[in-house]
Amino acid sequence: MNVPHFVGERCIDSTQKPVGEPGPGQLLLQVKANALCGSERGQFANGSAVTPGHEAAGIVVATGPGTSTPLGTPGVVFLMDFCGSCRSCRLGFTNQCLHKRGDMGFNKDGGYGVFELVSEQIFFPIDADIPLADATMLLDVMGTSAHALKRGLQQRADVESVLITGSGPVGLGMLAMAKLLLGEATPVLISDMVPYRLELAARLGGVPIDLRSQSLDAGARAAGFATVDLAIDSSGKTAARQGALDLLGKRGVLVCVGHGEEIHLTVSSMLIAPERAVLGSEYFCFNELPASLELLRSQRAYLSQIITHRFGVGDIQRAFELFFAGSTGKVVIEQ
């Protein structure tokens, strides 16, 4: 099969790889859609030995021994090839597997190829009437976002205001999931410097803060908020995390989702006295997918606004260039 080859220096060529044959416990998928992610920036810039793509949706076309998934089943692929038997997996924390076998698209061939070989236990079947491009939102857009929100709500159940720093696809997913899980009336402030994404955030019901013309604090105060209850950083930037931490009220919670830079804090005055919490949130648990599927089914018209561009695999170079230029929501490669 022909597959995209990320050669580095922001160049994507093509190469040939053999189609995998499913072994015990494995499925072969014909990939129909795979969404782009900001975490692929390094692969775009520096190249990749494996075929990237970790937000894949496809159809089962071959099965290995010991599997039970029928041929023709549509579904999505969980990023982490978890072991299923360690302490974390037994408790349902598959995103914290202690013996993880790999990450699809990062050290195992992922979803930008025509076919993808996956462990059956990381394949989540969906209903045939859900378009597979839309189904990719079950992963980073909905799954990662809902998990982070729930992490925050475990610390602070009475959230009445939310701040999201960064309005890329994950930030937009955070905004949408906050509206769906906390209620449309819950104010959700969201910051960025890209006009396209801020306009999309406003259409999704957020209160945009344009950091080109004002600070995070000034934008929040202009919107009527001196403090917020829950802040979620999807940017991975120190300045964004520091600004979000500074805006937390008493008992406020900051959830860090975006990988990247650091955060600095004084424990006594910034954590202990106001009883604030600073949490990390990594991807989501496989057992959270059924709830996301039900939400996608009932709210697909609203959520599908986050997908703003669709390309064929032959235009993957253009898709990545456009995506990392910033003026998009979620971008999906369809095959």
* Residues 6+ away with beta carbon under 8 Å from 49: none
292 φ, ψ (degrees, to nearest 5): -65, -40
Same domain, 156 and 244: yes
Per-residue pLDDT of the chain (335 residues; tens, 9 = 90+): 999 999 999 999 999 999 999 999 999 999 999 999 999 999 999 999 999 999 999 999 999 999 999 999 999 999 999 999 999 999 999 999 999 999 999 999 999 999 999 999 999 999 999 999 999 999 999 999 999 999 999 999 999 999 999 999 999 999 999 999 999 999 999 999 999 999 999 999 999 999 999 999 999 999 999 999 999 999 999 999 999 999 999 999 999 999 999 999 999 999 999 999 999 999 999 999 999 999 999 999 999 999 999 999 999 999 999 999 999 999 999 99
Residue showing tokens 């598959």: 94
Q: What is the mean pLDDT of the chain?
A: 98
CATH code assigned at 48: 3.90.180.10
Same domain, 220 and 302: no
> Which domain, by its residues, includes 57?
2-140+285-334
Same domain? For 302 and 267 the reply is no
Phi, psi of 189 (to 5 degrees): -85, 145
Distance of CA 215 to the CA centre of its chain: 26
174 and 246 belong to one structural domain: yes
Residues 18 and 124 in one domain: yes
3-state secondary structure of 170: helix
Please check whether residue 71 is in contact with residue 60, taking contact to mean a CB–CB distance below 8 angstroms: yes
Amino acid (1-letter code) at residue 322: L
8 Å CB contact between 235 and 166: yes
Quickly list H helices, 94-227: 132-135, 145-155, 169-182, 195-203, 216-222
- Cα(56)–Cα(103) distance, integer angstroms: 13
Q: Which amino acid is at 107?
A: N
Which pLDDT does position 64 carry in this prediction?
98
pLDDT of residue 89: 98
Which pLDDT score, from 0 to 100, does residue 216 have? 98
Q: What is the pLDDT of residues 284-305, one digit of tens each?
A: 999 999 999 999 999 999 999 9
pTM of the model: 0.96
**Count of structural domains, the chain:** 2
